[in-house]
Amino acid sequence: MKLTPKMNELAKSDRRLFHALEAANILEKLMMFYYKREYKIDWDSEESDPAASIKLEVDKKCDALARSYLTTVFDDASKWGFIGEESYDESERRKEYYWCVDPICGSLAFQKKKRNFGTSIALFHKGEPILGVMNCPLYRWRGAAILEPKKGVALAPEKSARKTNGLSIVVSFNKKSNPILIDAISRFRPDKVTYAESIPAKAMGVLIGYYDLFYSLPKSLGGGRYNIWDIGATAAFAAAGESLLTDAFGEPLNLKQQDYRFERGIIMTKNKALLRLAAEKTKALAANKKRIHPVPAAIVRPSNYYVIGLKCVVCGVEYKERPELLTCPACGDEGILDVQFDYEAIKQVLTPAALAKNPDPSHWRYMPILPVRDPVKIPTLRIGGSPLYDAQMLAAKIGVKRLLLKDDGINPTASLKDRASGVGAARAMAEGAKAITCASTGNAASSLAGSAASIGMPSFIFVPEKAPAAKVAQLLIFGANVFVVEGSYEDAFHLSMFCAERFGFYNRNSGINPWLVEGKKTVSLEISEKVKDKVPDYVFVAVGDGCTIAGVWKGFCEMRELGFIPRLPRLIGVQASGASPVMKVWQKGGNMKPVVPKTLADSIAVGTPRNWRKAVKAVQDSMGFYMSVNDDEILRAMKMLGNTCGIFAEPAGATGLAGVIKAARKGMILPDASVAAIISGNGLKDVSSAQRAAGSACRVPPDTDALDKILTAKKTLF
């Protein structure tokens, strides 16, 4: 696409804009190559979605191409960060300058007869946009803007030939999906409404006068979410003076916010009166929604019970709660369910002020957001309320600004799994179960045995033959019926499933039981309550079956929804290198492929994780990543944790910290990052691994002279 004379003038005056325009031109050629090549595909096929797969392929190629071009054309490449849709990295936003690129905008980019795709490129300086480029090749729209120093905007075409007596509005999302949006738009009495354009198409349309208004509702009213790469260039054009850009309530967009997501909607227009009108409509809709959907004064469910249903993570079908329903009937064991809550009702009872007055230090203090019908029928053990240490010495040793350690090894049976078992035992009592069963590599088994003992319910537990002796002994002390299976965890799992089905025992297997994630999420509820607005940048979580990291993410999301924290951290899933099937799905996509686990971290030695979908989605949604650590790195983390902090962790308990150490060493996180790691289990559960990590003690005869010689030689130790 040729540049207008004004664009050429601007490009010659600013090297950065010149290269941004060049990059946009390169990306446009690649997009058009794919568009023409793939145009003959049968887009109406019901067997697959070729448009989505092609878009992802082009996105990744454009992302890599833009990164390579824009970060290497300047002298000091280290100053220039890069953020793309497929390569977001929080550390890049901390650089003095960073490019923010959405290589190919528009979810319908390569569908037949769709012309709405485009490219968006912006350059940020210290969190503020200083130039932008947008283009929509099939519309033949292009724009460039500079505001540091402010040199204005150049557009092609400069002005739309559209003529209308009414308003022309462009909005986000399919018109069939949002009745609230339809209602809002109808109040403007528009002459023309266009749905589901890409961001560049919407923004450019407003700039050249083709549209009078770009309007998107906030997420809370059924709208969507924009990311920093979506709106970077749009914000640059607005700041250059050619348009007004706010959220849907008429408030300025805070592009410096730590969270990269913007969920309060969008208004873009050149007309101040139209902006005020749109903002008023949003506020009226928000107020009306509260009146239309009040919390019922009398509800069928028990007081303080706010579960409204279950939703399949595969097909999205929602179900009403039933005792026997653990997975989606349509999707089978792959159809893991997610518990749905009435958050509007919960906001009325679970507030920072209410929690501050609650004397209960355990995780039952979050009862309104737990799936427990009777707050009296719960295990008597004090679960949760574990300490959150600010490990300053260890942070300095590792090389991070701040390191928080959540020590869940102090729970009743010495692991985080007590949180899930407590909820499971309460559910079993409520359903009138006669016994409870599960399979485990160790910690889930001991936590179940302890919780079952505290409520007087028999437990039947299956463990693989490689389970540590200390964990098996713990089960027997709690009075569990223990079966050491001559095989793997998978073999133990199948026997426990048979036991649940054949004898009607309550199934506590966390990989398929959706209620147990709700117990595990309390660890992040507690972290959120403690840190308040000082949310860590990263939270490292050891991953085995996937249930824990899914719960951790849900807890953080709920605490932001309820107003306890202002933003979400990025989750880093850490797997043992000898048992990392979830990491491989995150890296390569597709379905999970079982592996034969080979690691000393028995609690996460899971070759066929059942909750892998939630585990992968949690990290993707948080814009985090997966990594692996080997057994030697885990042992070193165990020793460092004990030496520096006085915390004794089992191998799986120290795996998250091993991830922190490795990530800091390899530059995967920046030195000024604040980090949290969850210590999920106590070291007394696996003494043999602790001995490997620590080495042997010094033997000495009962002789003072011999002791004097030894200590004199070791004066460097004191």
Residue carrying the six token digits 């792959």: 334
Confidence at residue 164, expressed as pLDDT on a 0 to 100 scale: 62
Q: Look up tokens 């985080």; give the residue.
A: 416
Q: Among positive and negative, which fits the CA dihedral 440, 443, 449, 455?
A: negative
Residue matched to tokens 């509260």: 290
Structural tokens at position 46: 């019901």
Sign of CA dihedral 561, 563, 564, 568: positive
The 10s digit of each residue's pLDDT in 165-213 is: 678 888 876 555 566 777 777 777 777 888 767 888 888 889 888 889 9
DSSP 242: I
Over the stretch 479-515, which tens digit does the pLDDT of each residue have? 999 999 998 888 898 899 889 988 999 999 887 899 9
Amino acid found at 464: P
Q: Structure tokens of 55?
A: 């878009």
What is the average per-residue pLDDT within 373-401? 93
Look at residues 94, 95, 140, 128 and name the one whose alpha carbon lies nearest to residue 240.
Answer: 128
CB distance 458 to 489 below 8 Å:
no
- Burial of 40 from C-beta contacts in 10 A (0-12 / 13-18 / 19+): exposed
Q: Mean pLDDT in the chain?
A: 85
Nearest Cα neighbor of 197 from 162, 160, 230, 151 is 230
pLDDT of 441 over the 80 cut: no
Q: Which of 328, 680, 373 is nearest to 514 (CA)?
A: 328
CB 199 within 8 A of CB 107: no
As a whole number of angstroms, the longest Cα–Cα distance in the chain is 104
Contacts of 330 (CB under 8 A, 6+ apart): 312, 315, 317
Strand partners, 152: 146
- CB contact at 8 A, 319 and 348: no
Closest CA to 449 of 473, 423, 478, 427: 478
What is the reported pLDDT for 49?
46
Mind listing the pLDDT tens digit for each residue in 670-696? 889 999 999 999 998 888 888 888 888
- The pLDDT of residue 557 is 96
Tell me the average pLDDT across 139-166: 78
Q: What is the pLDDT of residue 110?
A: 54
**What pTM was computed for the model?**
0.61
For residue 107, the model assigns a pLDDT of: 44
User: 416: which residues sit within 8 A by CB, 6+ positions away?
Assistant: 408, 443, 520, 523, 548, 678, 680, 681
What residues have CB less than 8 Å from 545, skipping those under 6 apart? 510, 511, 606, 609, 610, 611
Token pair, residue 262, equals: 């913007």
24-60 per-position pLDDT tens digit: 888 888 777 776 665 444 444 433 445 555 666 777 7
Domains of the chain, each with CATH number or no CATH: 5-156 (3.30.540.10), 307-330+347-385+412-516 (3.40.50.1100), 388-410+519-694 (3.40.50.1100)
Q: Which of 380, 341, 352, 346 is nearest to 364 (CA)?
A: 380
Give the pLDDT score at 302: 52
